[in-house]
Amino acid sequence: MNRTAADKALLRIYASGCACFYPTAAFRGEPDALTAMPSRDMIEKKQKSERECNMTKEVSQTVINALRLLECFTREEELGITELAAEIGAGKAVAARLVGSLTEFGYLRQNPKTRKYRLGLRLMYWGELVKERSELVQVAEPYLRELSQEFQLTTHLAILEHHSPLIVCKVAMGPIVYMDSRVGSTLPTHACATGKCLLAFEHQRVLAEFLNSRPLVQLTQHTITEPDAFLREIELIRQRGYAVDDEESNEGLSCMAVPLLNGDGRAVAAVSISGQSPAVQKNQREILQRLRETQQKISIFL
């Protein structure tokens, strides 16, 4: 088949980037070898596919940077462009474009006094939408509210996400106590009753992955930091069916948690009640009884 000079040039360019697929003769531009090359349409389709693949990677990286930028605000209330660029490891121009786009759509807003940025109200809309459409949260929230009302303490519903307890519902009542917990945030797995409870009723593989993924950082003098001691604690939780955190993550705060189990005996989520240590410890027996009643009521829907 006769080929135009342009076709031959295109084929040689194609061959120069595809040495792993064609005989070496093709790369010397020998006519016989070129006749064995794919058609021009095939080459152009491949090049188009490669361009689309590269475009997808670029868009994905942009999305990743935007999400990482938003996550910076879980640690700080306000941040400037320079700070955000350093946090996500990008240039100021990239950070400025991301911030501009997120601000335009309401996910960030600028403080006119400091000129720094904070989370926008649009995120509140999406958070409420997720909450409304989460069947588990809809079922559990009234029971959490009952517990909080009865004991005037804070209740949480959490799931295991990347080896950490992710809070999906929180009800706070009673005396104002600073607790570093918000819906959508995570807790220190090894140092809170919720995290230990979720791990205790997971596969052994998940527990092993957790212990291999991070050190057991000491947060208070009561935190369990030795893997062997942590494994003994997990076994105890399995045996008695509930977990306790006695000031392991925060001085002066205690917590109790029970798992919500599916038909396979794995924890779908965990319900906990937290507050000032004297209030929790004084009512420990009553709290455990009510937690177990709540566990049974919610588990019917799983």
Is residue 209 one of the residues assigned to a domain?
yes
Among the three residues 64, 90, 119, which one is the final residue of a domain in this structure? 119
Residue 29 has pLDDT above 60, yes or no: no
Instruction: Look at residue 28 in the predicted model and tell me its pLDDT.
Output: 41
CB 269 within 8 A of CB 157: yes
Instruction: Look at residue 134 in the predicted model and tell me its pLDDT.
Output: 77
Instruction: Give the CA distances from residue 198 to residues 97, 164, 280, in Å, rounded to whole numbers and listed in that order.
Output: 40, 9, 20
Of 206, 113, 122, 126, the closest CA to residue 163 belongs to 206
Rg, Å, the chain Cα set = 28
CB 247 within 8 A of CB 253: yes
Are both 157 and 220 inside the same structural domain? Answer: yes
Are both 114 and 249 inside the same structural domain? Answer: no
Is residue 243 one of the residues assigned to a domain?
yes
Is residue 124 one of the residues assigned to a domain?
no
Are both 96 and 149 inside the same structural domain? Answer: no
Q: What is the pLDDT of residues 225-264, one digit of tens each?
A: 999 999 999 999 999 999 999 999 999 999 999 999 988 8
Of 199, 167, 165, the closest CA to residue 181 belongs to 167
CATH of the domain at 192: 3.30.450.40
Are both 18 and 55 inside the same structural domain? Answer: no
Is residue 126 one of the residues assigned to a domain?
no
Are both 113 and 163 inside the same structural domain? Answer: no
Q: Which two tokens stand for residue 218?
A: 């000491």
Are both 14 and 68 inside the same structural domain? Answer: no
Is residue 76 one of the residues assigned to a domain?
yes
Are both 143 and 93 inside the same structural domain? Answer: no
Q: Which two tokens stand for residue 130?
A: 């997720």
Are both 112 and 250 inside the same structural domain? Answer: no
Are both 180 and 202 inside the same structural domain? Answer: yes
Residue 57 has pLDDT above 80, yes or no: no
Q: Whole-angstrom Cα distance, residue 49 to residue 55?
A: 10
Is residue 196 one of the residues assigned to a domain?
yes
Counting DSSP H helices and E strands in the chain, the numbers are 13, 7
Q: What is the pLDDT of residues 223-234, one digit of tens each?
A: 999 999 999 999
Residue 21: Cβ-neighbour burial (10 angstroms; 0-12, 13-18, 19+): exposed
- Structural domain boundaries enclosing 11: 5-37
Instruction: Look at residue 58 in the predicted model and tell me its pLDDT.
Output: 53
Q: What is the pLDDT of residues 144-200, one digit of tens each?
A: 999 999 999 999 999 998 899 999 999 988 776 656 678 888 899 999 999 999 999
CATH of the domain at 85: 1.10.10.10
Is residue 201 one of the residues assigned to a domain?
yes
Residue 26 has pLDDT above 70, yes or no: no
Residues 69-91: b if buried by 16+ CB within 10 A, e if exposed: bbeebeeeeebbbeebbebbebe
Are both 166 and 56 inside the same structural domain? Answer: no
How many CA atoms are closer than 13 Å to the CA of 184, on its beta-carbon side? 12
**How crowded is residue 115: how many other Cβ atoms within 10 Å of its Cβ?**
10
Is residue 250 one of the residues assigned to a domain?
yes
Are both 50 and 28 inside the same structural domain? Answer: no
pTM across the whole model: 0.62
Total count of domains within the chain: 3
Helix (H, G, I), strand (E, B) or coil at 58: helix
Instruction: Look at residue 263 in the predicted model and tell me its pLDDT.
Output: 82
Q: How far apart are the two ends of the chain, measured CA to CA in Å?
A: 67
Are both 239 and 151 inside the same structural domain? Answer: yes
Q: What is the pLDDT of residues 43-55, one digit of tens each?
A: 566 666 665 555 5
Q: Whole-angstrom Cα distance, residue 85 to residue 92?
A: 5
